Structure 1
Amino acid sequence: MPSMPSVKLRAALSELAAGNMIILTDDEDRENEGDLCVAAEHASPEAINFMAVHGRGLICLSLPETRVQELGLSLLVPPEANQTAHSTPFCMPVDARKGITTGISAPDRAEAVRVALDPSSKPGDLVAPGHLPVLSASSGGVLERPGHTEASVELAKLAGLTPGAVICEIMNREGGMAGQHDLRRLAKEFGFKTLAIRDLIDYLEPRSGFPKCPVGLVAGESF
Structure 2
Amino acid sequence: MSVDEYIFAENVRKAIESFKAGNTILLFDMEGREEETDFAIPAEAVKPSDVRLMRKEGGGLICVSLDALAAEKLGLPLMSDLLISASEVDPSILKTIEKSGDLKYDSRSSFSLWVNHRKTRTGIPDNDRALTINEVANSVKKTLNAEPVDFGIEFRTPGHVALLRAAEGLTNERCGQTELSVALAHMSGITPAVAICEILDDHSGTALSKKKAIELSNKKEMVFVEGSEIVEAYETWKELNSY
Counterpart position of 1:46: 49
Aligned amino acid, residue 32 of structure 1: E
Secondary structure of 2:63's aligned partner: strand
Q: Which residue of 2 aligns with 1:184?
A: 214
Counterpart Cα distance in 1 of 2:169 and 2:58: 28
Which secondary structure does the structure 1 equivalent of 2:129 belong to? helix
Any conservation in 2 of the 1:70–1:122 contact (CA below 8 Å)? no
- Tell me, in whole angstroms, the C-alpha distance in 1 between the residues paired with 2:11 and 2:241: 22
Equivalent residue in structure 1 for 2:191, among 141, 162, 175: 162
| Fraction of identical pairs, as percent | 30
2:124 to 96, 99, 104: 104
Paired amino acid for 1:84: L
**What root-mean-square deviation, in Å, do the aligned CA atoms of Structure 1 and Structure 2 show?**
2.2
The TM-score normalised by the length of structure 1 is 0.87
Q: TM-score if structure 2 supplies the norm length?
A: 0.80
Structure 2: any 5+ residue segments left out of the alignment? 85-97, 143-147
Runs of 4+ aligned residues of structure 1 deviating over 3 Å after TM superposition are 79-83, 206-210
Which of 84, 87, 90 pairs up with 2:103?
84
From the two aligned structures, give the one with the greater strand fraction.
1
Bigger Rg, structure 1 or 2:
2
CA distance in 1, matches of 2:53, 2:20: 18
SS of corresponding position for 2:128: helix
Structure 1 unpaired stretches of 5+: 214-223
Which structure shows the bigger proportion of residues in helix conformation? 2
Do the aligned partners of residues 10 and 207 (structure 1) sit closer, same or farther apart at CA in structure 2, a change above 3 Å counting? closer
Partner-residue secondary structure (3-state), 1:69: helix
Amino acid at match of 1:205: E
- C-alpha displacement at 1:66, in angstroms? 1.8
